[in-house]
Amino acid sequence: MQNPSKQPNPCPVVLVVDDDCGVRNSLKFSLRVEGFAVRAYGGAGDLLDSLDPLECACFVIDHKERRISTPAILITGDPSAAVIDRAKRADIRIVEKPFLNPALVDGIRAACLRHPVSQH
């Protein structure tokens, strides 16, 4: 698919983790339209079972997942003060659902540029 913003995508693969199937499918479609290669998982356990850590530069993950420690974008519909505080301390960007602006794609590109990985 085409990358409408015409910006290069620095991520070889973006991993999406969300327990909501509709959110997963929507993100997968939207990010592919932006030119990203995307893999989507229903939970951190599913992802960790299939992960090649050398392939990924950025996770897009639901705030309820706690077992990931790599560059990430935290997605949530209603972040509590505690979630916001933990994300700030961990230097993790929060993007709130619904995704009505380019914040998610911009955040992914920024995370991938900060933490580049070799492309396979």
The answer to pTM > 0.75 is no
What pLDDT digit, counting tens, does each position of 99-110 carry? Answer: 777 888 888 888
Amino acid 115: pLDDT: 66
- Across the chain, mean pLDDT equals 77
Instruction: Give the closest residue to 65 by CA, choosing from 50, 85, 87.
Output: 87
User: Do residues 16 and 24 make contact, with C-beta atoms less than 8 angstroms apart?
Assistant: yes
Q: What is the DSSP-derived secondary structure letter of residue 46?
A: H
Tell which CATH architecture fits domain 14-114: 3-Layer(aba) Sandwich (3.40)
Taking the C-alpha atoms of residue 60 and residue 78, their distance in angstroms, rounded to an integer, is 16
Work out the average pLDDT over 50-71.
Answer: 64
Confidence of residue 21 (pLDDT cuts 50, 70, 90): very high
User: Do residues 40 and 53 make contact, with C-beta atoms less than 8 angstroms apart?
Assistant: no
Confidence of residue 24 (pLDDT cuts 50, 70, 90): very high
Domain ranges of the chain: 14-114
- Whole-angstrom Cα Rg for the chain: 13
